Structure formats: C-alpha cells, structure tokens
C-alpha cells in the first residue's frame, strides 16, 4: 500500500483561518512506488511472449504537506514497451498499478491547480519497501482553476438520439440543416441513414406539451462519432437547431450509444456489473421522472424481471455466469426499453444508455457522453466489482451520494466529471418551482421554456474538442 501521510506543516497551514496567502507557496511533492513479487505460476507473459512479468508495482504522486486538490492531473509516462505508454489520472489517488519484467525510469508529468506544469524523472525501486523521492514545488493556491474533464477518448465511438418538438415541420428542420451545410437525411424512423449523415424523422413515442398541442415531434440521430471532433459536430448541430426554437418535455429523452466492438465478453460483463451496481447513482443525475421504474421507456435494469428477485451479491454473480453475449443481453435487458439497452448490440454493436431526460443543452449532453465513455472504458478494464452489502432504497439521497463519490473515484476516475455531476445531483435535489425546474431540468414537470442557444462552455474550445493535449510531446 502507498505509505500513509503524517500531519506536517502543510496540515497546520491548512487549519489556519484567514485569507489565502499572496503568491505561490512551497510544498513537498512525493513521487514513489510500492512493490510486490508475483509468483511465477500466476505471472503473465509480456506481449511478445518472451518474459514473465514477475514484478507488481504502483507508481504514485501526492502532496505531503497540503490537500491533494493542489494537483490537477498527473500523466505517468512509462517505458515504450507498455501499451498504452501513458496513463493519466485527474483525481486522487494519482496512481497507476502495473506489472513488468524489469525496472526503468518513468516520467511523471504533474499539472498543479494553478496550471503550473512540471515533469519529473523517477526510477522504480523493486524491493519490499518500494521507493520514494521528494521534490519542493511552488503552487499558487489562490489561482486555483476550474477542474476540467479529461480529453474524450478518441477511439471510443458514440452516437446520440435527441427527442424534441418544434413549431415547424420535420421537412423544415431538414431544409434548415441543409442550408447550414449539415449532412443530413429526412426519412422514416425505421430507415437507416447514409454513413456520416444525421437523420431527421418524426417520433411517435413522444407527446406535445399542453402549451404546444400542435407541435411537430422530431427525433434527430447522429452518425457514428468519436472524440473531440464528434463533440464539435454535436455542438454545431445544436447551434443550428437552436434557431428553430426547439422545445422538450418529460415525455422526451436523449439516448446515447457507446461503441463496444473492441470489448470481449468478460469486459462487457464487467460494464453491466458496474452499471447495475451503480444504477442508483445514475438516478441521482437525471430528473425524478427518469429514475427507478418511473418511465416505461427506460426501465430499471436492477429491478428487471430476472435480476429484480436477486440480492446485490446474486445479481453480480448471475451476470458473471453468462457464457455468451446473448445470455447477457437476455438477462440484463430482456427488451430495448431499459436504462441500459443491450438489445442495441444485435443491430448496432453498441450499448444504448436511454436514461437522460430531454435536452438540447450542449453542456449537459457533452458531459453525459464523457461520463458514459469513461464509465464503459474503465469498467471494462477493472476487475469484477464487489457487491454493496446494504440494499438501499432509491430515495436515500445521502447514502447514494456517498456511492456516487465511490463511482467517480474507482470507476469514472475523472475529477472534472465528478465536479460537474455532484453539482448536478445537488441541483436536481433542490426544491424548485414548477417553472424554474422546467427551465433548468428540461421538462421534468410539464413543458419547458425554449432553451437558449448552446454557447460553448468555458472549459471547452475548438482545439480542446479536436485535439488531445500534446504539451508533453
């Protein structure tokens, strides 16, 4: 385990009352590693099949004499034989756990809360006590910047379906998109759009609000997207859409497809296990009408016809026992109208997340996509999860919020997403008037006021949408 910290002068400094000091202060940054021998009979071979990886270690970075939020993010740049070679953490604990057949010198790139950046060299120490090295660094805590999410994974594909209403016809939406040079087709719901084209169609599963009884019910579906360029496309479409005065109400939702072709069966099983385990946490992030089993178009997977009779432990075990993808689909989502719809795999090779409420807000939708991509990618890589011993009711906000923190710490592993969604959970819990709740939460109660044009949020610009940060290269 990583050595425990003792209270030092930084702890005393943190207890002082008063204003933040002016200018940067000195802190102690520790970079180190733990170590354990791996028995040869359980050790795995390297990818070339020539070496047994008999060394297990965790490389970490932490502030010894101050709060861990003084670190914004850490990149661990390992030996070129590792694939991937770079591992990034942007919330505590800042660490990466690996196995290898030899030792080497790693680079540890640290971004502090004031956006100062430093790269440190650290040679792994393979003995029982591990190793550690300490550095004096200057950090200006008064210049702490907003915590941003990590760059969206470029390899994971996604798609989005947005249900909404407009005063104009579907054909008018289509013609408006064409006039703005957006590749799109206007077609029936059961038809498939050409590759790279947005699809516009009527949607018979949603209803007009009482203030707009003669509205046009529309679904807009994206082509296959990925990474920052995919988010940039979504932002452009929502900008163009805003000129048509779109409206949403609680009959409407947003469905996000995550591409899963690169995952094997065991990785898909772990995604399902983690989702079912933390379904109550996802409930905190959406309006009440889309929680638990309140919506027949996004039913609870945990309370489904097969899993609903099991304890938490039995639920995870039954998912683990699936021997093929079809058993997994039939167990977790017997039909398509579940929060996590596995039926989409049979047609699209995707998992579809149907829980988000109706919205045309770029900030909400882009953060939701980031959350789902990070959740799926990390859940697939992690070991099978343990079960929660306590069965919680959906209304127990305090305990579910603690579990939400655990989900971000151990599965999502993104401090920027954690900041955004903890605020979102708190906002949804606040008691609001019928009209204010509608405007902020996209039609949770009745119809919604028309959303304002989707300004680009202050944590994203065109370059950050399209490019992964390359300051190390």
What CATH number is associated with residue 223? 3.30.590
**135 and 262 housed in the same domain:** no
- Among 112, 143, 174, identify where a domain stops: 143
Axis-axis angle for helices 265-277, 312-320 (nearest 10): 170
For residues 308-327, give the mean pLDDT: 97
pTM for the full model? Answer: 0.84
- Decide: 279 and 271 in contact? Cβ < 8 Å: no
Give how far the C-alpha of residue 290 lies from the chain's centroid of Cα atoms, to the nearest Å: 19
**201 and 281 housed in the same domain:** yes
12 pLDDT exceeds 70?
A: no
**86 and 194 housed in the same domain:** no
Owner of token pair 């104009």? 168
Domain tally, the chain: 2
123 pLDDT exceeds 90?
A: yes
For 14-41, the pLDDT digits (tens) are 544 444 557 899 999 999 999 999 999 9
**138 and 173 housed in the same domain:** no
For residues 135-153, give the mean pLDDT: 92
| Inside any domain, residue 305 | yes
| Inside any domain, residue 129 | yes
- Decide: 332 and 235 in contact? Cβ < 8 Å: no
Residue 126 belongs to domain spanning: 9-143
**204 and 244 housed in the same domain:** yes
| Inside any domain, residue 103 | yes
**193 and 303 housed in the same domain:** yes
Q: Bridge-partner residues for 131, per DSSP? A: 33
More confident residue, 292 or 448: 292
**448 and 317 housed in the same domain:** yes
For 345-404, the pLDDT digits (tens) are 999 999 999 999 999 999 999 999 999 999 999 999 999 999 998 887 766 788 889 999
For residues 142-159, give the mean pLDDT: 92
- Among 116, 143, 170, identify where a domain stops: 143
For 440-464, the pLDDT digits (tens) are 444 543 334 444 445 444 344 333 3
| Inside any domain, residue 348 | yes
**324 and 446 housed in the same domain:** yes
User: In terms of C-beta density within 10 A (0-12 exposed, 13-18 middle, 19 or more buried), how is residue 115 classed?
Assistant: exposed
């Amino acid at each position: 385990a990583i050595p425990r910290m003792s209270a030092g002068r930084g702890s005393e400094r943190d207890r002082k009352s008063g204003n933040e000091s002016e200018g940067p202060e000195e802190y102690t940054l520790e970079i180190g590693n733990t170590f354990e021998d791996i028995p040869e009979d359980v050790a795995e071979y390297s990818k070339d099949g020539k070496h047994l990886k008999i060394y297990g270690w965790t490389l970490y970075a932490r502030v010894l004499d101050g709060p861990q939020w003084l670190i914004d993010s850490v990149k661990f740049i390992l030996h070129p034989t590792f694939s991937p070679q770079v591992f990034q953490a942007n919330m505590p604990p800042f660490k990466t756990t690996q196995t290898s057949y030899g030792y080497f010198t790693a680079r540890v790139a640290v971004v502090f809360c004031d956006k100062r950046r430093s790269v440190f060299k650290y040679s792994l120490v393979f003995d029982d006590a591990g190793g550690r090295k300490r550095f004096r660094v200057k950090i200006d805590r008064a210049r702490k910047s907003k915590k941003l999410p990590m760059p969206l994974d470029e390899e994971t594909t996604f798609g989005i379906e947005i249900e909404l209403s407009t005063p104009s016809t579907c054909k008018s939406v289509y013609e408006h998109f064409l006039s703005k040079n957006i590749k799109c087709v206007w077609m029936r719901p059961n038809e498939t759009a050409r590759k790279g084209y947005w699809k516009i169609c009527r949607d018979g599963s949603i209803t007009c609000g009482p203030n707009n009884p003669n509205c046009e019910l529309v679904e807009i579906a994206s082509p296959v997207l990925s990474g920052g360029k995919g988010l940039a496309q979504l932002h452009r479409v929502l900008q163009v859409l805003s000129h048509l005065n779109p409206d949403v109400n609680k009959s409407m939702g947003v469905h996000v497809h995550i591409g899963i072709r690169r995952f094997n069966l065991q990785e898909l099983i772990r995604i399902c296990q983690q989702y079912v385990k933390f379904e109550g946490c996802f409930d905190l992030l959406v309006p009440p009408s889309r929680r638990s089993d309140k919506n027949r178009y996004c039913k609870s997977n945990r309370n489904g016809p097969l899993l609903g009779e099991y304890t938490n432990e039995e639920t995870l075990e039954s998912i683990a026992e699936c021997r093929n993808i079809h058993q997994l689909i039939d167990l977790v989502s017997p039909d398509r109208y579940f929060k996590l719809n596995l039926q989409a795999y049979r047609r699209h090779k995707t998992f579809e997340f149907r829980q988000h409420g109706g919205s045309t807000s770029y900030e909400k939708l882009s953060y939701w996509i980031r959350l789902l991509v990070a959740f799926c990618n990390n859940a697939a890589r992690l070991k099978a999860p343990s079960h929660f011993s306590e069965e919680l009711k959906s209304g127990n906000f305090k305990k579910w919020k603690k579990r939400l923190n655990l989900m971000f710490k151990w599965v999502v592993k993104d401090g920027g997403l954690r900041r955004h969604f903890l605020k979102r959970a708190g906002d949804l819990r606040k008691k609001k008037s019928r009209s204010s709740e509608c405007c902020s939460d996209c039609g949770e109660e009745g119809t919604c006021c028309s959303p304002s044009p989707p300004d680009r949020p202050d944590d994203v610009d065109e370059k950050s949408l399209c490019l992964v940060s390359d300051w190390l290269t």
